[in-house]
Chains A and B, each alone.
Chain A
Amino acid sequence: MMTAVFPAAQDTPAARAGVSAPLRRSPPATGMDPGAPHPPVVRLSGICKAFGPTRANDGIDLMVAPGEVLGLVGGNGAGKSTLMRVLCGVTRADAGSLQIRGVDIAPDLYDTALAQAGGIRIVHQELSLCDNLSVAENFFLEAPEAARALPGWRRIFRARARAALDEVFPDHGISVDARVAHLAIGQRQMVEIARAVATPQVRLVILDEPTSSLGLERSRQLRAFIKARTREGLAFIFISHKLQEVVDIAHRVLVLRNGRSVWSGPAVEASVEALVQAMGGPAEGVMLSRRAARPAIGEGARERVRLSGALIAPLGRDVVLRAGEVVGLAGLEGSGQRDLLHALHGRPGSGISRAGKASFVSGDRQKEGVFPLWSVLANIALGRLESRAPLGRVDDGQERDAARAAAEKLKLDPARFDSPILDLSGGNQQKALVARALVGEAETILFDDPTRGVDVAAKEDFYALIGSVARAGRLVIWHSTEDIEFLECDRVLVFSGGRIVRELVGTAITEKAIVDASFAGTGALERDATAGARGPLDRLVDLAPFASLAAVFALMAWVNPLTVSMFGLELLLGPAIALVLVALAQMFVVGGSEIDLGVGAFAGLVNVLSATLLFDTPWLGVAALLASVLAYGLIGATIQLRRIPAIVVTLGASFIWLGLGYTLQPTPGGAAPEWLSAAFAWTLADVPATLILIAVAAIIALAIDRSPFGVVLRGFGNNAQAMTLGGWSPLRYAILRYMLASLFALAAGLSLTAINTASDINAGGPFTLISVAAVVMGGCALIGGMISPLGVVAGALTLALVGALLGALGVSTDYNAAVQGCLLLSMLALRALADRREARR
């Protein structure tokens, strides 16, 4: 039935021949003989994994031979993803054994690093690229072995990325230097696939829904590539909802259902119908008859939602959704279905209008649904709070009654109302979320892929409920990623490229019709092939820190012409070296999406240490400074290991630094070691040392940022989860990040001692806020992952000049703090507005 999706199906007989060849060629590989010449790439036996009450995997066996494509299918929540996580070393199985290329691996030792060493790579459905990095840098993260900390180290990865993309997706049109954030979703998926297969030594590639965002041609290219590579012995596990695709490409198929393997055999023996039946998925007939059994919608049903404007341009007429209907939103993933749901939930506008209230039920329960600290009852009862006065009283008894009524409809046991919501299985959690929508008074219920990760029985309960909820007078709008679910709908709107391209009603709703319509405009998915090119406006934003430095400098020169002389420069910018260094320290912390509130105090402590201990007993001073760097690493470790907010820990740490400083030296004093003063007091061709050192610091920071190490740090700042899955140790890099920051802060403290030739524990305090201001001004994003050393240096110098400028203009120093605060806020506000405009674009 879905063959129409793949016009390439005419080459199926040939493909089949190719398909069975490896199976015939190496029959022992499928047997159980470990001494066979080609041991299986991996073999899992009896894998069990439970999450609370949910048995996600219950004694599953899986084996993949070299050059084999294993199709893995199962409905949402069947346990596929858990099994793959076990296979990739992300999740540890409760029981079962594991063999890689014939070698037994102890399950407790198995982790992501071992899986990678075994040549196993996975392409996640939820994309795991760092979108602040370029395509080539993402290739580096996947296989960093070839990287050297030398200029030009990217070359090898750019070549590798280009070769891989060319091989898998000819005419891809993706620039390897483009930032991933600038790529369309389909292009990201292509990069991710190419990255996995290009890894040296790769033996097994797991493709989890690889074609969910790919157009027709790209899917075909991928399948052609898989066939070519299997001939060279590369093995694949192919996971897809598109069963025809699986039957076409796989040699063998394994079907999972509720955590158990229910069918396994050669693909030639499998048909789409047989697979559907084995999966226990919703049977077409049942769904159709359930829909037919619903009473007809009344003629005068009230209009709830009207869609018009650009969204429905391909249809050429407004779409009106009425009370009592079940309306499906179909199409390839990311074609605009979710955008419509969110627009309907939030403030409708621009061609979308809604009457009455709407409630939202997401299938992404962890991120968008449950409140993890609450009981089931509290989670449900939240739905009744809407539109109540803030100081109204919450009554447990009333809530319980209302929730009970909703739970009964959903077959959710009220006895579980007092359990924490997370103790429930995925299916029951989802029922609680649906109950939350039901206890509210919303006339429209929006479902966003509600059966994601839900077991078969709970799905059936859900399907049965949908119709009755709608016919009781509500409008149900339902976005699903499983096309078969649309058979439950009265009407389906098919999206493509952000527009509604088809409207299917009643018996016209078939999977084939939906799929055909989905592909109608898939060119749009890759339309922005030139993405990644930076416009002149972006470059202008990059130049902002330098432009403002120039502006402030010009103003300063105008107020006091002496500024332009070398002497004036030294006088003005020399003392700024401490601020520059603290700002660079802060920058590396901000790059990890954290903020260090103790960095100023730490510089103050180093100031005290170097003017007292280091002066009196040099060896003790050096030891103390080393210990302080280690202490910073410890802070990084504490934050990472205990997962506590960096700001609170560093705020606490700032008191420790201050306290240590006071204890060492209660009042300002001390003296600078001679060598230290000398280190900041030379000149080179009449340029004073401080200015040169500022430039050196900038270059060092830039070199670190551009090095492989810097790329890893930025990767963690952007997508720590993906980095961890990729085998990078978050602990090690948290420690290194904080130690790196502490080295810059240490240099700042030393420069304070050298320039002031004395110490004051309070000298560093004010730097904390200014350093954040400099980092923001320099063009770094506080959410992490985007840093710019030269911009930060320019920002720090600008802020130092602003202080001097105020002094030159005769403004009292009392106003310094306020001016700095206002500057920081206005910069952040401007950035926020600019970001918002970009998002709108």
Chain B
Amino acid sequence: MTALMERLERHRWVWSALGVLLLWAVLAITTGRFSLHSLSGVAISASFLTLVALGQMLVVTTGRGNIDLSIASVLTLSAYASIVVAAGSDARLPLALAAVLGIGLVTGLANALLVVVLRIPAIIATLATGYILATATLIANRWAAGFSMSPFLKTLAAGRVEGVPLMLVIALIAVALAGLLLGRTVYGRRLSAVGQNERAAALAGIRTGRVVTGAFLASALLAALTGMLLGAYVGGAFLEMGQPYLLQSLGAVVLGGSLIFGGSSTALGTLCGSFLLILIVTTMQIAGLPAGTQDIVQGLVVIAVLALAGGRAVRRRRAAPKPEAVAP
């Protein structure tokens, strides 16, 4: 029994996976028409969320309550940028890609500079860069004349192979790569160390600034790429398109079982968390709940999951033999 509990403790993604299965089963039974087709709609939405949430997860892993709040603005601005630059032709796609990667790179570096060099709390730094980007988006909004997509991008975002959405494949590859990065590489170890105990990590010879910078870069780049794909998928860009991803990316990370304190994250959990969250939203839509209520439920879910998970982390830390923490 304790062995099982330990196993669950180590594989925290299981809970969100169970949640996905349960909710899906309930939906399938109650509506009676929850087809595989509608599930693939869920899968596409969840895939976009997964990409963004993986970046958020890396930032959360750096610990000290670090969160990237600029994600929403990066995503929106990138969607605009890719549409304006590509102007509906595949030939200009590399340019658009460069613009989008540029947005991600600059934002990520700016966030990292503010957090690492100036020691500004991540939440404030990213909130502020998000505001600045929001202005850029307003300006881009005036430029964006038409909504013509690059066909290739359109295929990538909305296409299917054997009925499987391409976006899902992209998301699964990203999850696998992120999982490898966290679990099997030197960077993953360093990231976890920094997130658990930054001071100890620095004393153990880890250049903590570089590690944190890497996480912010990855987060901004992933959000930027997602923005490009999402723009292609919905066939345009609009000012509020990034907004839902702010809370949802965080929600997916916590639901997936990554520790909000940092130091321990699971890419697979983030995938399951994304699916669970999107399923919850879909359920609410099917049930015909108004938008306001959907917001309330999402907020409550995040707080409730945190309250439960927070307690788990506290127990772990309390189990520590602590006499030396106070010994002379």
Contacts and interface: CB of A to CB of B under 8 A. Distances in A.
| A, B bound | yes
Interface of A: 51-54, 56, 76-77, 79-82, 85, 125-126, 208-209, 239, 241, 345, 357, 359-360, 362, 365-374, 378, 382-383, 385-386, 388-394, 422-426, 429, 436, 440, 442, 452-454, 481, 595, 597, 638, 642-645, 647-649, 651-656, 658-664, 666, 769, 772, 776, 782, 814-818, 820-822, 824-825, 828-829, 832-833
A597 B135 CA distance: 20
B73 to A, nearest CB: 9
A821 B129 contact: yes
Contacts of B322: 51, 366
B302 A80 contact: no
Given A382-B204, A426-B327, A653-B303, A817 B321 contact: no
Interface string B96-128: 000000000000000000100011110111011
10 contacts: A52-B321, A391-B185, A426-B324, A426-B327, A597-B127, A642-B311, A644-B306, A648-B306, A666-B290, A829-B120
B186 A389 contact: yes
A652 B299 contact: yes
Contacts of B192: 371, 373-374
Interface string B22-48: 000000000000000000000000000
Interface residues of B, number: 82
Contacts of B193: 371, 382
Contact of B128 (A422, A664, A821): A821
Contacts of A367: 197, 199-200
B288 interface: no
B327 A453 contact: yes
Contacts of A436: 204
Interface string B301-328: 0110011011101101101111111111
A659 B299 contact: yes
B319 to A, nearest CB: 6
Contact of B323 (A81, A378, A423, A638): A81
A420 to B, nearest CB: 8
Contacts of A394: 184-186, 188-189
Interface string B251-286: 000100001110110000000000000000000000
Contacts of B254: 648
Given A386-B206, A663-B293, 11 more contacts: A208-B328, A239-B328, A360-B203, A366-B324, A369-B200, A372-B197, A647-B65, A652-B300, A656-B296, A662-B290, A818-B134
A645 B66 CA distance: 9
State the 3 A-B residue pairs at the shortest beta-carbon distance, nearest first. A453-B324, A662-B292, A659-B295
Nearest to B246: A651
B323 A56 contact: yes
A644 B196 contact: no
B54 to A, nearest CB: 17
Nearest to B290: A663
B186 A772 contact: no
A370 B120 contact: no
Contact of B328 (A390, A452, A822): A452
B18 interface: no
Contacts of A383: 204-205
Given A77-B324, A394-B185, A772 B203 contact: no
A370 B327 contact: no
A394 B187 CA distance: 9
Nearest to A389: B186
A426 B321 CA distance: 7
A76 B326 CA distance: 10
Nearest to A79: B323
B157 interface: no
Given A394-B186, A440-B205, A642-B307, A654 B299 contact: yes
Contact of A595 (B114, B124, B139, B186): B124
A378 B199 contact: no
B148 interface: no
B131 to A, nearest CB: 3
A69 B264 CA distance: 49
Contacts of A651: 67, 246-247, 250, 302
B323 A426 contact: yes
Contacts of B205: 357, 359-360, 383, 386, 440, 442
Nearest to B253: A648
B132 interface: yes
Contacts of B307: 638, 642, 644
Say what secondary structure dominates the interface of chain B.
helix
A366 B321 CA distance: 10
A591 B124 CA distance: 15
B203 A385 contact: no
A394 B119 CA distance: 30
Given A656-B296, A817-B131, A76 B196 contact: no
B294 interface: yes
A388 B299 contact: no
Given A394-B186, A452-B328, A51 B321 contact: yes
B155 interface: no
B299 to A, nearest CB: 3
Contacts of B188: 394
Contacts of A769: 127-128, 131
B247 A77 contact: no
B214 interface: yes
Nearest to A126: B326
Contacts of A658: 292, 295
Contacts of B214: 390
B65 A655 contact: no
B8 interface: no
Given A85-B326, A660-B292, A359 B302 contact: no
A648 B121 contact: no
B131 A782 contact: no
A659 B293 contact: yes
Given A374-B192, A390-B185, A817-B131, A366 B325 contact: yes
A645 B122 CA distance: 13
Nearest to A657: B299
B190 interface: yes
A79 B185 CA distance: 40
Contact of A368 (B199, B261, B321): B199
B292 A815 contact: no
A597 B229 CA distance: 29
Nearest to A650: B303
B300 to A, nearest CB: 6
Contact of B295 (A390, A392, A662): A662
B277 to A, nearest CB: 13
A393 B124 contact: no
B185 A393 contact: yes
A653 B299 contact: yes
B119 A832 contact: yes
Central interface residue in B130, B131, B134, B214, by most chain A CB within 10 Å: B131
Interface string B176-215: 0000010011111110110011011101111000000010
A698 B60 CA distance: 37
Contacts of B326: 81-82, 85, 126
A656 B119 contact: no
B139 A814 contact: yes
B21 interface: no
A668 B23 CA distance: 35
A648 B67 contact: yes
A372 B295 contact: no
Given A369-B200, A595-B123, A656 B321 contact: no
Contacts of B120: 782, 825, 828-829, 832
A643 B308 CA distance: 10
Nearest to A346: B202
A731 to B, nearest CB: 14
B118 A832 contact: yes
Contacts of B189: 378, 382, 385, 394
B217 to A, nearest CB: 12
B291 interface: yes
Contacts of B123: 595, 597, 647
